[in-house]
Structure 1
Amino acid sequence: RNIARRRTLVAIGTHDLDTLSPPFSYEARPPKDIRFVPLAQEREFDADELFAFYNEPSRNSPLKKFLPIIASSPVYPVLYDAEGRVLSLPPIINGQHSRMSPDTKNVFIECTCTDLTKGNQVLNTIVAMFSQYSSTPFTIEPVEVQYPAGDSHGKLGGQLLVTPDLSRPTLTASVEYIQRTVGLGAAVLPAEDIPPLLKRMMIDAELVEEGSRVQVTMPITRPDVMQACDIVEDVAVAYSFNKLPRPVAPVMCTGAQHPLQRLTELMRLEMAQMGFTEALTFALCSTDDCFDKLRLVDDGSTAVVISNPKTEDFQVCRTSLLPGLLKTLSKNKSNPLPWKLFEASDVILLDSNDDVGASNHRRLALVFSDSSTSGFEIVHGAVERALAMLGLSLARGDYAVRRGSDPSFLEGRCAEVVLPTGKKIGVFGTVHPEVLDNFDLEFPTSAADIDLQHFL
């Protein structure tokens, strides 16, 4: 699951060498031309029959998840010996003929890959693990791999490689860098203590350049150590993280919650106390959800368009929270009525005054749906309660509620919240039946949308 990425990068096979006849060939053949007895089976299959066999629902084979790796290819990779016997069909399964047993004395390890670097790392690790059981411990017999000449093998075409490559790379790091990064001075972590610590991590190390640098020689099983910071990490692990000092920061900062976030949290609490359930919807949506389904016209000056969307559901940045809430209602029809949802989050609008051409605006949106009432008065009350918590009073004339007109709402059942300056900071009303039909909702629904950004 890590280096090999579920066999998509590397596949491994082990075989009883005494049952095979070198040299071996790695070929690509049509599925119908590949016939062999797979591991743990008794009859012969061609590759197409084998895939159908593993795909049977009743079989629940653990190999099923690997089949799509090569299933769509016109040819499959296959390993043969000199007698034409199949060693393996990578990355799916080995052949039964070369199956290892308790009597196996000579093991042949084959590692096929789509990433040569990852393949070498996996092969070295497997070889290191097997070699401890060799008749002469930690010895192996290398294999020559001859790549055919031609463009099909890129830079490896015509080359002869000896595998595995057991050369051990070296790496250096400054002693001062290690001490500073770990957080220990020269008095606590002198240079001569660093090589023994790395030795605990199975890394050979020595001081060079008059003790100013540490040179390490990496074992073949540690491909994860690639640069100086990796050496620092191993030194810290060997020294023990629990023993590292935890000094107080030399600077003092007075932190506080961002005002917009604090306002949002207060509004979330108020909405929850009014019996509404919070929803968290995607910031991206389709053009249909954002405009057509709300009976709005896309004039090209409002929504931020994704240049290369991977799916039709995520074409633009949302300009309203209502599509997400209405979609949430349509996907949760099994819940008991009434449905009361709210969301306090950002919408993204085109803004020529912003450096990036768009800006975020914090909004509060809520919806109410029931079979017996549209809930207009409930949403109206929730809006007035929310504005009261924001410090506005209708009696003082801090805002006014006037008849509005919005294509998403039913005409005559739509109201706008307007400040004395004439600025509109919100809208609420009964959702238009066509909008409900677009979102597959059957019950009367009312909604509200309030601009929280204005109150900062």
Structure 2
Amino acid sequence: MPTITVEKERFFKDLGKTFRDEKEFDGILFDYGLELDEDTQLTTPEEKPYKLKIEVPANRYDLLCHQGLVLALRTYMGTSPAPNYSLSIPPPEHQWKAYVRKETSQIRPFFASAILRGIHFDEQRYKDFIDLQDKLHGNLCRKRTLVAIGTHDLSTLDHSNKIISYEARPPQDIKFIPLNKQSEYDATQLMTLYESIRRTNDFHLINWTCTRINSNKTKITLDTKDVFIDVTATDQTKLGIVINIIITMFSQYCSKPFTVEPVDIIYEHDVGSSYRSPNIEPLIFATRQSYINSVTGLSLTREATMALLGKMGHQASKGASANKPAINASTSVVLQNAPHDDLLNVAVPPTRPDILHECDLVEDVAISYGFNNLKKTFPSTNTVAKPYPINKLSDLVRKECAFAGWLEVLPLTLCSHDENFRFLGKEDDGREAVILSNPATIEFQVVRTSLLPGLLKTIRENRKQPLPMKVFEVSDVVKKDSSLERKARNTRRLGAVFVGKKSAGFEVVHGLLDRILAMLDIHWIGLTSDPSSRKSFRGQYQIEESNHPTFFPGRSARILFQPSVLIKKEGQEEGWTEIGRLGIVHPDVLQHFALDFPCSALEIDLLPFL
């Protein structure tokens, strides 16, 4: 979870409450769902000012700064009511407009903006303002790949027509003095200058006509009185969340607290499409008192529930809203048919984008009431869990391999493209492996389609261990499958590799195969020649010589399986099915994996045995 650092003295002062001891304060944080990670007064008393490090939930973006924590806890403790946010709409001649040009639709199509008028910064508030943007960029904005925030001193902009233009331009046409720099750069030079933002591939294409993103000209200082905020995004939902969090946290310092001046956004590529930004109207959710009581085990009245929701920043009223219907009512038959005297209408503030469903309101009621105060009861029904058949089969195979003296290993699921194909003597036809679009390293390029690369790498990293070495793995491989919605399928396999000093040990892996299949009641074809006897077995198997580039020529075989009537699936064709291969590993493969001793390997699918 994210950790927020606040100055202890300032934090307690803004909370407006004196705590008897640290335990009382820690208890309030815990009840609210937060955790005091560190108090530097106790851990490093020589360092001042003292600071508190508080862990907050990952989906509570309103708690990522000092201001958000104070507002939330003051409301929760009843020190002050939840603020009401409003728009301060200027006369038409003073209304700022932003035009979104059509070329931006290919890069960051969504744009939002707002103005904080008469804001008063001091050193701490200014630091919090910058810090909140950094935390949002690193968290919700995914290092600016989804959303990017820009803040500017409004007084530095051209006020003649009060128009902002959001454009995309070629890199060579973008020239300005970056923030805290003295020289002018173009976009190409900026990409070299700011190595830390290379993740944002389209950064160098975005620019303003009347001002510059992150330019020194529009730099915000402690003397700034009017702040212009712009947010660009590839995700419209996250766009709204980000701009609402910023303005709700710092509009309290405006000349009119908790008021924001909107900006009219006009889309050039969608004629007639425009809206007023930001949208800070509360979202209306409907919930049922009976549902809240059934989930929490309480017997609350609607009045009591309204008070509890108020402690969490919501405004609740009885019945359904006639002016503004709940956003979740139209899709819920249960809410539509609920009695009027059971309904609650809850106005969720713009600071709480984590509220997505009726159950989220129930969670807030439970937090406000106190989880420790809920009655502890056993559920009225018991459910007994059982493993999926494939997992149960996998555990049985693991045990048998271990009983046979083999050691289980757990290599990584991702591997390099060469390890999955070239090192095994195979070619990539583009129809088998799932390839990562943004691998972190060369070691994690594809999802493995075979267990052998991981087993051979494990042996390579343990070359100093005494021989012989017998290792196995029971895990999934992934292959493309266009017939499925996810376009890929998992297959459970058993893989095993034997490495010896003098012998490749083909008979050892062959023996493991015989042992595993015998324990699964799959018999060698020579033992099931009598057709009448096959009905008592789960199936029969045989091996057939077959060359494969991973194995030494003439020293490999494919494993064929024929199910009996006991496990034969409806519609399954008669005959033999290839379920895997075994053989002596090719010397070229051993060389690719830096192995000096001969090896034998086995790999089979387990799904046909279900």
Structure 2 length-normalised TM: 0.54
Question: What's 1:167 paired with?
Answer: 281
What secondary structure does 1:430 align onto? strand
Alignment of 1:74-89 (within 5 A): 76-81=205-210, 86=211, 88-89=212-213
Identity of aligned residues (%): 35
Match of 1:9 in 2: 146
Secondary structure, in 3 states, of the residue corresponding to 1:13?
A: strand
2:365 paired residue number: 235
* Residue correspondence of structure 1 range 24-39 to structure 2 within 5 A: 24-26=163-165, 27-39=167-179
Query: In the alignment, which of 64, 74, 97 is matched to residue 198 of structure 2?
Result: 64
Q: Which residue number in structure 2 is paired with residue 329 of structure 1?
A: 456
Looking at structure 2, the residues matched to 238 and 413 of structure 1 have their Cα atoms a distance apart, in angstroms, of: 70
Distance (Å, rounded) in 2 between the aligned partners of 1:401 and 1:166: 68
How has the CA–CA distance of structure 1 residues 324 and 257 changed in structure 2, closer, same or farther, with 3 Å as cutoff?
closer
Residue 276 in structure 1 maps to residue 407 in structure 2: yes
1:178 to 1:37, Cα distance in 2 relative to 1, 3 A: same
Q: Name the residue aligned to 1:206.
A: 317
In the alignment, structure 1 residue 191 sits paired with structure 2 residue 325 = no
Given that 1:294 and 1:407 are in contact with CA atoms closer than 8 Å, whether structure 2 keeps it comes out as no
Determine if contact 2:296/2:366 at 8 Å carries over to the other structure.
Answer: no
SS at match of 1:344: strand
CA distance in 2, matches of 1:426, 1:131: 66
What's the offset of the Cα at 1:200?
Answer: 0.9
CA shift, 1:77, in A, is 2.1
SS state at 1:42 partner: coil
**Change over 3 Å in CA distance of 1:402–1:115 after alignment to 2:** closer
- Structure 1: how far apart are the matches of 2:346 and 2:600? 69
The answer to whether the aligner puts 1:19 opposite 2:156 as a matched pair is yes
Q: 1:275 to 1:309 in 2, by over 3 A?
A: closer
Contact 2:543 2:560 in 1 (8 A): no
Displacement after TM superposition at 1:206 (Å) = 1.4
Structure 2 CA distance for aligned equivalents of residues 166 and 109 of structure 1: 15
CA distance in 1, matches of 2:207, 2:490: 55
Deviations 1:345-382 (A, max 9, x none): 57899xxxxxxxxx998654421124532123443554
Whether the aligned pair in 2 keeps the contact of 1:113 and 1:119 (CA below 8 Å) is yes
The counterpart of 1:444, out of the listed 598, 601, 604, is: 598
CA offset at residue 453 of structure 1?
7.0
The worse-fitting range, judged by mean Cα deviation, of 104-113 and 125-134 is: 104-113
Once the two structures are TM-superposed, the CA of residue 197 in structure 1 deviates from its matched residue by 0.9
Return closer, same or farther for 1:224/1:453 CA change in 2, 3 Å cut-off: closer
User: Counterparts of 1:355-370 in structure 2 under 5 Å?
Assistant: 364-370=494-500
What is the DSSP-based 3-state SS (H/G/I as helix, E as strand, rest coil) of the residue aligned with 1:127?
Answer: helix
What SS class does the counterpart of residue 166 from structure 1 fall into?
A: coil
State how far apart, in whole Å, the 1-side matches of 2:477 and 2:256 are.
68
Asked if the contact 1:347–1:361 (Cα under 8 Å) also holds between the matched residues in 2, the reply is: yes
Q: Greater CA deviation, 32-41 or 18-27?
A: 18-27
> Do the aligned partners of residues 189 and 8 (structure 1) sit closer, same or farther apart at CA in structure 2, a change above 3 Å counting?
same
- How far has the Cα of 1:128 moved from its partner? 1.5
Q: CA deviation at 1:204?
A: 0.8
Give 1:38 shift: 0.6
What is the distance in 2 between the residues matched to 1:41 and 1:130? 27
Q: Could you say which residue in structure 2 is the equivalent of 1:59?
A: none
Change (3 A) 1:156 1:125: farther
Alpha-carbon distance in 1 for matches of 2:491, 2:599:
25
CA distance in 2, matches of 1:31, 1:348: 41
CA distance 1:455–1:191, shift in 2 (3 Å): same
Q: CA deviation at 1:192?
A: 1.7
What secondary structure, in the 3-state scheme, does the structure 2 residue paired with 1:97 have?
helix
Amino acid in the other structure paired with 2:368 = A
> Are the aligned partners of 1:272 and 1:278 in contact in 2 as well (CA < 8 Å)?
no
Aligned pair in 2 of structure 1 residues 374, 438: CA closer, same or farther (>3 Å)? same
Q: Which amino acid aligns with 1:25?
A: I
Q: How many residues align?
A: 407
The aligned residue for residue 372 of structure 1 is 502
SS of the residue corresponding to residue 126 of structure 1 reads helix
Q: Map of 1:253-332 to 2, 5 A cutoff?
A: 255-257=385-387, 261-262=391-392, 264-272=394-402, 274-279=405-410, 323-326=450-453, 328-329=455-456
Kindly indicate which of the two structures has a greater share of residues assigned to helix.
2
TM-score, normalised to structure 1's length? 0.69
The one-character-per-residue Cα deviations of 1:258-313 (angstroms, maximum 9, x if unpaired) are 67644533442443461433345759999x979996899x9xxxxxx7699878x8
Q: Match of 2:217, SS? A: coil
1:181-214 alpha-carbon deviations (Å, 9 max, x no partner): x2425xx222221101110110111112664211
Alpha-carbon distance in structure 1 between the residues aligned to 2:170 and 2:580: 65
Aligned residues: CA RMSD = 4.9
Paired with 1:418 and 1:168, the residues of 2 have a C-alpha distance of 64
Q: Identify the residue that residue 301 of structure 1 maps to in structure 2.
A: none
- Distance change in 2, residues 1:42/1:220 (3 Å): same
Match of 2:351 among 221, 228, 232: 221
> In the aligned structure 2, how far is the partner of 1:437 from the partner of 1:116?
52
CA distance in 2, matches of 1:324, 1:415: 17
The aligned counterpart of 1:353 is none
Residue type of the alignment partner of 2:164? S
Query: Structure 1 unaligned runs (5+)?
Result: 56-61, 299-304, 350-358
Q: Which amino acid aligns with 2:288?
A: S
Question: Does the CA-based 8 Å contact 2:581-2:604 persist in structure 1?
Answer: yes
The change in CA–CA distance for 1:432 and 1:46 in structure 2 (over 3 A counts) is closer
CA distance in 1, matches of 2:241, 2:255: 24
Q: Does 1:51 align with 2:180?
A: no
Q: Secondary structure at the match of 1:25?
A: strand
| Cα 1:247–1:103 shift into 2, 3 Å | same
Q: Distance in 2 between matches of 1:169 and 1:30?
A: 40
The 1:155–1:237 alpha-carbon spacing in structure 2 relative to 1, beyond 3 Å, is farther
SS at match of 2:183: coil
1:179 aligns with 2:293: yes
**Mapping of 1:399-438 within 5 angstroms?**
405-408=545-548, 429-431=583-585
Shift in Å, 1:124: 2.2
1:343 alignment partner, SS class: strand
